[in-house]
Amino acid sequence: MKEKNNQLGGRRLMLGFDAGCMTCSGLAKRIEETVGDKLQVRNLHDPHMEHWREQALGENAPWAPTLVEVRSDMVKAWTGRRMGLILAGKLGLVATWRVMQILGETRARPTDTNVSGTVDAGLSRGQFLKGASGAVLAFGLFSGSALPAFADTKQKAVETGKQAERAILLMERHMRIESNGTLSLNEKGLKEDTQAGLGEDIDRSVFVALKQNLADTNAKLLEGKAPGQSSKAKAENLFPTVSSQTAERSLGSSKAGCRGINWVQYFWWGRRSWIDNCNTNKLVRRLIGGAGIFAVIACFPVGGAPAGMASALMGLGGYAIDNTNRGRGVYINYILRLVAVRVRPQ
């Protein structure tokens, strides 16, 4: 493979993979067309890659797609879901997703495998894709659609958030707190509402994801581990979706001269995060400037931000958030299973 001097801020970034899945040159060319010279592709059997992996991960490094960062004074390496988060932080969400799409297309290419269905190097296609797929899952996939929930366009990202908010309100019309401290949903009542047209234009997958959120929350409630401002959140803290914080004047900005509040509130479907005007402007600047995922998370001083939420905001873009801000900052609904966000002005 032709040697390339890929530099990104004084470092070299390389993705190692098992060449038994496809020709190295073909994959390298496609990825180069997608992300330019920001990422170099190497065979896991490449002597340099073997050396770097051993240096960073040890002699028993997992045989899986590996992201390697080489600097003059150190070598770092990541695999699995962590690899996806790091790659998104360095290349950006959109570029990372496209790279993973290219890797994922190997599912439909069985020509490089032997009769047993394994890659020539001894690694099954499923095992090979486990690292890449795990990385993509870190940003959220609909289980049946093979598309990120925040979608491949900003317009669909906005639409998903709108649909989720409508679906939440519709479901809460038929929810209640049970005697055992969990939340129940009257499926019959919800079905009648949707048949009457109240759920028009809400994709079925949105309801599926929200119902899974509800099941996840109930499991945590029974274990006493429900998310919340305290470690012992109860159902009444997570339902219904009402935010008294927006009217609480004592929750001011942590910085003089910044209008709006910094706060976080948890619900059965996810979380709502408020950031004041200063942090909103900071978030906008970083998104427009192509900042990494950790720089985005740092814009949320109260409660931070999950990686999925930060990734969804990166997909939405800074201009959309800036257009929403009215000088008091914004609040953001993050729907867990959808990995979708909805941004509103404070």
pLDDT digits (tens, 9 = 90+) for 228-273: 765 678 999 999 998 655 445 445 555 778 999 999 999 999 999 9
- In the predicted structure, residue 207 carries a pLDDT above the cut 50: yes
Q: Please say whether the beta carbons of 306 and 291 come within 8 A.
A: no
The tokens 């814009």 sit on which residue? 299
Range(s) of the chain covered by CATH 3.40.30: 12-137
Which residues, including other chains, have CB under 8 Å from residue 312's CB and lie 6 or more apart?
A: 139, 140, 149, 150, 157, 334, 339, 340, 341
List residues bridging with 331 in a β-sheet. Answer: 274, 344
Residues 12-137, CATH architecture = 3-Layer(aba) Sandwich (3.40)
Using DSSP, state whether 202 is helix, strand or coil: coil
Q: Higher pLDDT residue, 40 or 117?
A: 40
Q: Higher pLDDT residue, 142 or 286?
A: 286
DSSP state of 340: E
Phi, psi (rounded to 5 degrees) for 20: -65, -15
Q: What is the pTM of this model?
A: 0.58
Rounded to the nearest angstrom, the gap between the alpha carbon of residue 131 and the centroid of all alpha carbons in its chain is: 16
